Amino acid sequence: MPVVVVESPAKAKTINKYLGSNYTVLASYGHVRDLPPKDGSVDTEHEFEMKWEVASDSKKHITAIREALKTDDELILATDPDREGEAISWHLQEALASSLKKGKKVSRVTFNAITKEAVTEAMKHPRQVDQPLVDAYLARRALDYLVGFTLSPVLWRKLPGSRSAGRVQSVCLRLVVEREMEIEAFRAREFWSVNATLATPRGQEFVARLVQMGGKRLDKFDIATAEAAELAVKAVTSRTLTVQSVEAKPASRNPYPPFMTSTLQQEASRKFGMGAKACMSAAQRLYEAGHITYMRTDGIDMAPEAVTAARAAIGARFGAAYVPDAPRIYKNKAKNAQEAHECIRPTDMAAAPDDLRLAEADQRKLYELIWKRTLASQMASARLERTSVDIGSADGQVGLRASGQVTLFDGFLKVYEEGRDDEDEDEGKLPQIMQGEAAEKRDVASEQHFTQPPARYSEATLVKKMEELGIGRPSTYASVLTTIVDREYVRKDKNRLFPEDKGRLVTAFLTNFFRRYVEYDFTADLESQLDDVSAGERDYKEVLARFWRDFSAAIAETADLRIGEVLTKIDDFLSPHLYPLREDGADPRICTTCGTGRLHLKTSRSGGAFIGCGNYPDCRYTRPISGEEGGSVDGRVLGQDVDGVEISLRAGRFGPYVQKGEATAEVPKPPRASLPKGWESSELTLERALELLSLPRQIGPHPEDGVMVESAIGRFGPYVKHGSVYANIPDVEEVFTIGMNRAVEVLAQKLAGRRGGPAAEPLRDLGEHPDGGPIQVMPGKYGPYIKWAKVNATLPKELAPETVTVEEALALIAEKAGKTGKKKAAPKKAAAVKKPAAKKAPVKAAAAKVASKTATKTAAKKPVAKKTAAKVAADEDVIDL
């Protein structure tokens, strides 16, 4: 009985249903091996030999597959049809090498959709693992390791605070930072337009724009002031206008090609505000359920049978007029489409969104988007009529133009219209206008405009830009965007991306000292080389050798760099951001406190970066690098306490804090208190600072034993304390107001939980899981989390407990279960593995026993690892596949 291995249990369950009891279907739960997070995992001295390690969570899955292979002679690797899927199959084959001896057969199959027809057809055409695709994966993984594990320690030593870098991530970050610098350097330019509301002799109104004055055609900035606009209005008002020409031209609009990964992410962002990660998560579930084809692809071509099915569905739903005479063929723009080749489309064109009855909102929206786009791509063009009307005066001094269009046949627009990144005014429909007739003036008005700075990137426009530049590939877009946000290099606000100070510093450092490696052309050329490797046209070790030779030399050149030199270069690079022009025209680098010192980028002993006065210590002016002028944080005096001691607000490694007095030989550590989350340093008053410094606050003796009960703010938030019992309270403000009755109640609840009493009450009940059991939002020591059966999934900071939806909760549960490798503790029995009960039960038991013993043994022996530079770099970087 062949053993079939796929990545996820959901995929295994669906495929097992199609293959039946003649196959044993198991899940690897993603990648089973990776490079150990330590130096030397890629040996640059010995032809880039890579030392792989089976992940601790993967050992039990490998063991289960080994146990199944003891009685089965064939292994079929059925992972996804892209580079990453090929890499997982290769890793499985390598990890299972000891179990694949003695004539056992190994084959690789791929299918672009999880349907019965696609899966059974794939089983008839097995092949071997594609080594060029694996080589491309090895090259990418080695490059990401070498960049992350070599460059990050340099950043740590030379740049204030702990920073990390990644091969594609840093280039993506540079795009966001440079766009923000363009916006900051932008200076608006004023211009005016003049519009007239005109009427035909039949009383129908339309709007025309002034395009000619004084016999000269107007350019955008020709009417530059209010005075010039007023003269233009008078020129139009004082003249009689007639229609000089009416020109109608036929036009057509062709449909958009079907989706590939990047365009799906862009459109989901435009239409639904859906981030790249959420989009790919919903698409993954649709794919695993067999509703759509594989969702990581840079191809836009469609299988011939799918084109035929789409045309049939169009004819049945909308009529023959909407079916073009010939099928539409779309050519891929990518030079070497190596991901999954075919576009993203429904597996059944006749299955409308309402027919599937999908429970999750994200899946419903995304499937409808894919279905409509796919059908529209094979529909007839829209036929339009565009009309231009020129209106002028008899003396030729003023001329106006009105434009509009009429849809004669909607074609594909009946189903789908692509979203836009920039809002443009559509041309309106014009009334019947005839040449030579009078145009009566109803109103003539001028309008002031200013040129606008370039728009900040959204996730959609950033993915589009990366795709245009050739940076990254379909499988990397979501992970790159997630990484720069999670590392707080970039902040996402109202679907727009803003660079944080951390991100600016990293970009400034890399641009000045490793410019070549964050150049767009260099990164795109390296991607092309890796594509050549996947096509079998280039040796991956030659690519690595050429890259490492120059990169290691660049690293060596930074050995003698002094932090002062680094800060000077970064200071100059970020100057427009750090020192914006002042309204009075004064030098923006002159200290506003002392009036003589120059402002510079400085570092604190804690490793943070800030702007400080060159006259320190005589002048103690400081501010954060993104702070407002005059908004000094470090050392800003708030006032004095009752004893006359100064209370100051300062900037520390872990954020702003208040301090009482100065450090002296007698008092080396004066009283300090960090600002709680949610408190703005710009709004802090002396009274609030004194309240913080007065903590812990004594509430009173406990009524049972007389021991003092206190309230304070700790590492994990506000709490009350009685002896050795600490109990969290939800609101920071309650620390300063909580009374004894409330404190005793909170402490009693904590003690009850310790003694096996009633568990914490859920914050919200979200309903039933599709596999049974309630889904709840629970309060936790480290923040709220989603609980279902034995799965506890941390709630991300961007999701509030009050607003999280059941769809978002299900996605978090699925992700948590997949990462930990836990079986769902659901009432239903998993159907991922189908075996005859009598014959296979011992194998199952043995696999479980071995997995359990292995996990226990590993846990017992494995020491606690230090968080080395390599480990942090591994966490930071993004694997490009």
Catalytic residues: 294
Provide φ and ψ at 745, rounded to 5°. Answer: -65, -45
CA nearest to 739, candidates 702, 714, 780:
702
Beta bridge partners of 474: none
- Tokens coding 532: 């050549």
| Three-state secondary structure call for residue 282 | helix
User: DSSP states of 385-431 as a string?
Assistant: EEEEEEEEETTSSEEEEEEEEEEEE-GGGGT-----SS--PPP----
Pair 738, 727: CB distance under 8 Å: no
CA-CA distance, 157 to 154, in Å (whole number)?
Answer: 5
CA nearest to 82, candidates 283, 277, 297, 346:
297
DSSP H or E segment with residue 145: helix 131-158
CA-CA distance, 19 to 462, in Å (whole number)?
Answer: 41
CA nearest to 293, candidates 52, 118, 92, 98:
118
Q: Which amino acid, 424?
A: D
DSSP 590: B
Q: Where are the alpha helices (DSSP H) in 473-539?
A: 477-486, 501-513, 520-534
Pair 699, 741: CB distance under 8 Å: no
- Tokens coding 685: 């008053």
Pair 708, 701: CB distance under 8 Å: yes
Please name the residues in contact with 456: beta carbons below 8 A apart, sequence gap of 6 or more. Answer: 179, 180, 183, 496, 497, 498
Would you say the C-alpha torsion 672, 677, 678, 681 has a positive or negative sign?
Answer: positive
CA-CA distance, 432 to 846, in Å (whole number)?
Answer: 83
Residue showing tokens 């039946």: 20
CA nearest to 107, candidates 93, 121, 88:
93
Q: Where are the beta strands (DSSP E) in 428-505?
A: 440-450, 490-493, 496-499
CA-CA distance, 5 to 13, in Å (whole number)?
Answer: 11
* Cα–Cα distance list, 436 to 196, 200, 242, 402, 736 (Å): 18, 11, 6, 15, 80
Pair 150, 44: CB distance under 8 Å: no
- Tokens coding 349: 């064109």
Region for 713 from its dihedrals, namely left if φ exceeds 0, alpha if ψ lies in -120 to 50, beta otherwise: beta
| Three-state secondary structure call for residue 768 | strand
How many CB atoms neighbour CB 95 within 10 A?
A: 20
Pair 720, 729: CB distance under 8 Å: yes
Residue showing tokens 């739960």: 29
